[in-house]
Amino acid sequence: MTPDEFREYGKQVVDWIADYLTNVESLPVRAQVAPGDVRRALPEHPPEHGEGFAEILADLDRIVLPGITHWQHPSFFAYYPSNTSGPAILGDLLSSGLGVQGMLWATSPACTELETVVVDWLAELLGLPAHFRTDDAGGGVIQDSASSASLLAIVAALHRSSGGTIAQAGLTGRHTLYVSSETHSSLAKGARVAGVGAENVRIVDVDPKTLAMDPVALDRMLAEDIAAGAVPVLVCATVGTTSTAAVDPVRAVGEVCRRHGVWLHVDAAYAGVAAVCPELRSLHDGVAEYADSYATNPHKWLLTNFDCTVMWVADRTPLLGALAIHPEFLRNAATSTGAVVDYRDWQISLGRRFRALKLWTVLRWYGAEGLRAHIRTGLAQAAKLAAWVAEDPDFELHEPQTLGLVCFRPRWPGRKPEEADAATLRLMETLNDSGALYLTHTKIAGRVVLRMALGGTRTEQRHVEAGWRAIRDAAST
Amino acid sequence: MTPDEFREYGKQVVDWIADYLTNVESLPVRAQVAPGDVRRALPEHPPEHGEGFAEILADLDRIVLPGITHWQHPSFFAYYPSNTSGPAILGDLLSSGLGVQGMLWATSPACTELETVVVDWLAELLGLPAHFRTDDAGGGVIQDSASSASLLAIVAALHRSSGGTIAQAGLTGRHTLYVSSETHSSLAKGARVAGVGAENVRIVDVDPKTLAMDPVALDRMLAEDIAAGAVPVLVCATVGTTSTAAVDPVRAVGEVCRRHGVWLHVDAAYAGVAAVCPELRSLHDGVAEYADSYATNPHKWLLTNFDCTVMWVADRTPLLGALAIHPEFLRNAATSTGAVVDYRDWQISLGRRFRALKLWTVLRWYGAEGLRAHIRTGLAQAAKLAAWVAEDPDFELHEPQTLGLVCFRPRWPGRKPEEADAATLRLMETLNDSGALYLTHTKIAGRVVLRMALGGTRTEQRHVEAGWRAIRDAAST
């Protein structure tokens, strides 16, 4: 494709996306296809001869689009938002167009240095401590996802606790990790990948009301495990759990970690970015004093296209010690001087895209005040919805309602718990099948609960109202 | 940013990229900045107020572009190519615009099913076996990089060799991996991450001429290690090593693996895609019979933007057994039926972008014949360059010269080896400093050798000629 063809088709694609974002509201939120529908509509064999771009775009409309669940639909309330925004899409596009690979500083200095700057900027915006900065002992880096950050935290923690012997000789003995029932599954996955094993992921009790980790129970479990000969490696405290947006008491958990010499990873994937608002800075209470690693996802609620997780470490030495390998083919003058950061030593992969561009375009286009306004819009929508639910005698609100998530269920008076749960799931399927909105569920204290997550880039108050109306109507029929 | 603002700025960005790709040849290949230059040119603090897109683009030109090493420059001969192409950039753009997250089939069925189709298409184009197909025992999946594929192969192999106990109870005992001195560093990194440890990555001898793994030495080492109580887990055979594009004898290595019941991972990151040409199908000799996992990178030499590694497994059971975790918040009807693929169980991360779109746009725009033409152009350029080097009495060609890579060094008559090596490195720095071309080096039999990798999207014969002329001129002054 020549640059001039690219110019022509590129503008068609930009128009396609602008039209898509304008019209996405008119599409069913959740794809209405059955398994295999999309696959069957596509040719079984690859094309021998090249095709025109118009044909590709036509098939995008005809085959792909009906199979899309529209995460950017204003009535997408499932999971957590996965914000896109115009500047983020364009930052991503610039990254694709430049096509550089930033594994080393030398392979594109701007790719590395812009990343260092934007993660330092973000640390400042979120009130994270100065020692997270790359010019201090720590440093920030963009990862693809918080799952990778979890795995890397485990690997770095194992490196520190073993004095580096695991990287050389491999794992021996029993190494334990500490999570709660509400911790993201990436910790369990990371434990398997790192060779720790699922059985050594210890589940700490939560407060039954707030679903926050109980630091006293953690302390007790750590003491017992140490007495039994285990080597505790890492505790994960979550700021905004996946299920209910619960917030673990980072400071109290951190004090326990410090006492036992255990690495504290703070998984703030969902909620950390909300601290861009000073009134939510308390989400990070204890992070400065106790967190050894911390991750949050601008790709969830901060208007930056997936994938963009920012992970910081308080001390980069264990992370780099665990991961750095210097083969001859990567040797270069800049690395030898030690004057530069080579981000390949901060991640699983060697190669890396120029993801900092999209975070840069987002931070500049919106500015701190624009980001705060976006977070506050989601918070206000959630608070309003929670108030409606609380006022409605047919529904039960899960409290405390926190941040941009509202969890609730119909009361289904007169039904046994298991019947009520089945009815709640049926209600959700009916709503999702309608295409008018998209919800997911979770379980709280064993009971099925609906989750309605606000904070979508295009979600306005009227969408929340319409969603709530649809839920009430469906529950009462 | 409204859709109409996106329309306006998006077209500016498309023009910016089209201009960039038109003019990239006039820029110095390697960035000419010193460490810290880019960082110092950027504000220390994030903006409080949003800025205009014109200002962002202006800073892109003023601050970022001088810090870019231009991987898409036609005279970028370093490392291996990291091809972009118009259709790939547009596929990536469509993915960013749709902003879907394909962790589950249900979260965007087309994201999953298009991926299954394009990886099946690619398997067919590369002559890979039918059992790699998702409708057979195996399956293909797009990963961010071959490093992740290496780690996943190790994790799956550990799962199989331990009968699943490692995922539950963690690693115990000595587990060994087998590579050669030429194997990519991602195997050593993966071994550290997976808890196997660097010391248990065993280095098998290579043939001193071809630098290919010696299967007899492998067989001997496996027998010795087993006798010493180790549990051999995985052998990595490479098709196109990073250093010299050497090709390990997959069939002979595979026979040894089969005999000892060890997982065979084939790392064809660089060269696998070349098998799109029938005359290079022999690169895959033995893969059908012996490979348990296999990875190749369309993002290197197959016109598809980074990141796009395709990994296949012969049997998906151990991979899924090692990674699948099903928390309540991800339960959904489609997954429960077992009728769909959920790619989150095929990778480290939970979330995933719609990367299949760019591979789809590439396969359709170029067709099989277009892809073959691209590979053959790089092969022909490399063969021609190798012939010039071989004819030149002042240079020594590393033979066999294979695929799109040419390794050579000035003879530097009369100099001792270490002086000659230092002179070769100085020559490379002089050339790279000039901005006219960009080369990297490696070591073969302890001697510094220059690597010149062909296969760039925009590299024409004239660029190879000019590059060779520049090298000769610099070496003779």
Judge if A329 and A389 occupy the same domain.
no
Q: Is A109 on the interface with B (CB under 8 A)?
A: yes
Judge if B262 and B381 occupy the same domain.
no
- Cβ–Cβ of A100/B68 closer than 8 Å? yes
pLDDT recorded at residue B4: 96
Q: Residue type at B47?
A: P
Confidence of residue A11 (pLDDT cuts 50, 70, 90): very high
For residue B318, which residues of chain A lie inside 8 Å, CB to CB? Answer: none
Residue B24 neighbours by CB under 8 Å, 6+ apart: B70, B72, B73, B74, B458
Judge if B429 and B393 occupy the same domain.
yes
Domain contains A43: no
Q: Is A226 on the interface with B (CB under 8 A)?
A: no
pTM of the predicted protein model: 0.97
End of a domain among A303, A324, A353? A353
pLDDT recorded at residue A42: 97
- In this predicted model, what pLDDT tens digit does every residue of A414-450 receive, in sequence order? 999 999 999 999 999 999 999 999 999 999 999 999 9
CA distance B196 to B189: 10
Distance from CA of A65 to the nearest CA of B (A): 8
Chain A to chain B, count of Cβ pairs less than 8 Å apart? 508
Confidence of residue B7 (pLDDT cuts 50, 70, 90): very high
pLDDT recorded at residue A387: 98
pLDDT recorded at residue B327: 79
pLDDT recorded at residue B336: 80
Q: Tell me which long-range contacts B387-392 makes (C-beta under 8 A, separation of at least 24).
A: B388/B468, B389/B468, B392/B472
What is the percent of chain B with per-residue pLDDT over 70, rounded to a whole number? 100
Task: Output the CA–CA distances (angstroms, integers) from residue B101 to A149, A429, B113, B354, in the order listed.
Answer: 18, 20, 13, 7
Any idea what the CATH number is for the domain that residue B294 is in?
3.40.640.10
Q: Is A111 on the interface with B (CB under 8 A)?
A: yes
- In this predicted model, what pLDDT tens digit does every residue of B128-147 receive, in sequence order? 999 999 888 999 999 999 99
- Cβ–Cβ of A113/B19 closer than 8 Å? no
Residue B329: pLDDT above 80?
Answer: no
Contact A268/A283 with Cβ under 8 angstroms? yes
Average pLDDT estimate for A8-16: 98
- Cβ–Cβ of A69/B100 closer than 8 Å? yes
Q: Is A341 on the interface with B (CB under 8 A)?
A: no
Distance from CA of A331 to the nearest CA of B (A): 9
Min mean pLDDT across A163-177, A203-217, B216-230, B334-348 is at: B334-348
For residue A186, which residues of chain B lie inside 8 Å, CB to CB? Answer: 349-350
Judge if A410 and A339 occupy the same domain.
no
pLDDT recorded at residue A327: 79
CA distance B335 to B323: 15
Of A51, A68, A171, the CB nearest to B170: A171
Q: Tell me the residues of chain B between 125 and 154 that have a Cβ less than 8 Å away from chain A.
A: 125, 144-145, 147-148, 151
- In this predicted model, what pLDDT tens digit does every residue of A450-464 receive, in sequence order? 999 999 999 999 999
Domain contains B75: no
Radius of gyration of chain B (CA): 24
Above 0.85 for ipTM, yes or no? yes
Of A38, A79, A192, the CB nearest to B110: A38
Q: How many CA atoms lie within 13 A of A199 on its CB side?
A: 10
- In this predicted model, what pLDDT tens digit does every residue of B290-328 receive, in sequence order? 999 999 999 999 999 999 999 999 999 999 999 998 877
- In this predicted model, what pLDDT tens digit does every residue of B389-421 receive, in sequence order? 999 999 999 999 999 999 999 999 999 999 999
Any idea what the CATH number is for the domain that residue B36 is in?
1.20.1340.10
CB atoms within 10 A of CB A128: 28
End of a domain among B68, B92, B111? B68
Judge if B118 and B256 occupy the same domain.
yes
pLDDT recorded at residue B335: 81
Residue A117: pLDDT above 90?
Answer: yes
- In this predicted model, what pLDDT tens digit does every residue of A336-370 receive, in sequence order? 887 899 999 999 999 999 999 999 999 999 999 99
Residue A329: pLDDT above 80?
Answer: no
| DSSP structure class, residue A34 | P
Q: Is A68 on the interface with B (CB under 8 A)?
A: yes
Judge if A296 and A416 occupy the same domain.
no
State which residues form the domain around B443: 374-475
Q: Tell me the residues of chain A between 439 and 458 that have a Cβ less than 8 Å away from chain B.
A: 440-443, 451
CA distance B282 to B292: 18
Distance from CA of B19 to the nearest CA of A (A): 7
- Cβ–Cβ of A194/B194 closer than 8 Å? yes
For residue B47, which residues of chain A lie inside 8 Å, CB to CB? Answer: 363-364, 367-368
Domain contains A238: yes
Judge if A406 and A468 occupy the same domain.
yes
CA distance B275 to B124: 10
Q: Is A402 on the interface with B (CB under 8 A)?
A: no
Mean pLDDT of chain B: 96
End of a domain among A353, A382, A411? A353
Domain contains B239: yes
Judge if A400 and A461 occupy the same domain.
yes
Q: Is A32 on the interface with B (CB under 8 A)?
A: no
Average pLDDT estimate for A254-263: 98
Distance from CA of B437 to the nearest CA of A (A): 13
- Give chain B's largest Cα–Cα span: 75
Contact B90/B361 with Cβ under 8 angstroms? yes
Any idea what the CATH number is for the domain that residue A74 is in?
3.90.1150.170
Q: Is B176 on the interface with A (CB under 8 A)?
A: no
Judge if A169 and A286 occupy the same domain.
yes
- In this predicted model, what pLDDT tens digit does every residue of A57-70 receive, in sequence order? 999 999 999 999 99
Residue A330: pLDDT above 90?
Answer: no
For residue A110, which residues of chain B lie inside 8 Å, CB to CB? Answer: 31, 33, 38, 63-68
Q: Is B37 on the interface with A (CB under 8 A)?
A: yes
Domain contains A36: no
What is the percent of chain A with per-residue pLDDT over 70, rounded to a whole number? 100
- In this predicted model, what pLDDT tens digit does every residue of A360-404 receive, in sequence order? 999 999 999 999 999 999 999 999 999 999 999 999 999 999 999
Instruction: Tell me how many domains chain A contains.
Output: 2
Domain contains B364: no
Judge if A299 and A411 occupy the same domain.
no
Judge if A428 and A300 occupy the same domain.
no
Confidence of residue A273 (pLDDT cuts 50, 70, 90): very high
For residue B361, which residues of chain A lie inside 8 Å, CB to CB? Answer: 56
Q: Tell me the residues of chain B between 342 and 361 that have a Cβ less than 8 Å away from chain A.
A: 348-351, 353, 357, 360-361
CA distance B433 to B28: 9
Distance from CA of B136 to the nearest CA of A (A): 15
Domain contains A196: yes
Distance from CA of B64 to the nearest CA of A (A): 6
Residue A307: pLDDT above 80?
Answer: yes
Residue B159: pLDDT above 80?
Answer: yes
Judge if B271 and B194 occupy the same domain.
yes
Q: Is B177 on the interface with A (CB under 8 A)?
A: no
- In this predicted model, what pLDDT tens digit does every residue of B182-201 receive, in sequence order? 999 999 999 999 999 999 99
Distance from CA of A290 to the nearest CA of B (A): 24
pLDDT recorded at residue A333: 81
Residue B271: pLDDT above 90?
Answer: yes
Domain contains A361: no
Of A3, A38, A108, the CB nearest to B69: A108
Distance from CA of B291 to the nearest CA of A (A): 21
Distance from CA of A77 to the nearest CA of B (A): 12
